[in-house]
Amino acid sequence: MHPYRVFISYSHQDRDKAELVRAHLARLGACPMADVDLLASTRFSEEIRRRISHAHVFVSILTGHSKA
């Protein structure tokens, strides 16, 4: 069985929280994805859209920072 691809959206000010979620998902056997996985040479917006559309699950970490 293939692992679920989970895209994690977060404010960069909450990167520590996103990393905790990412690590937990990986321990559960999922394949967490976020913008930190992108290479510097990629077309950022296009690749983010592609990864979101290919994810099984979209997780948005909502905090005071993300509301801004």
Domains of the chain with CATH codes: 5-67 (3.40.50.10140)
Tokens of 41: 């040479």
- DSSP letter (8 states) at residue 40: T
What does DSSP say about strands 57-60 and 31-33: parallel, antiparallel, or unpaired?
Answer: unpaired
pLDDT digits over 8-63, tens only? 999 999 999 999 999 999 999 999 998 877 766 668 788 888 889 999 999 999 99
Q: Which two tokens stand for residue 18?
A: 């996103």
- Given pLDDT bands bounded at 50, 70 and 90, which one contains residue 68? confident
Give the Cα separation of 40 and 60 in Å (integer): 23
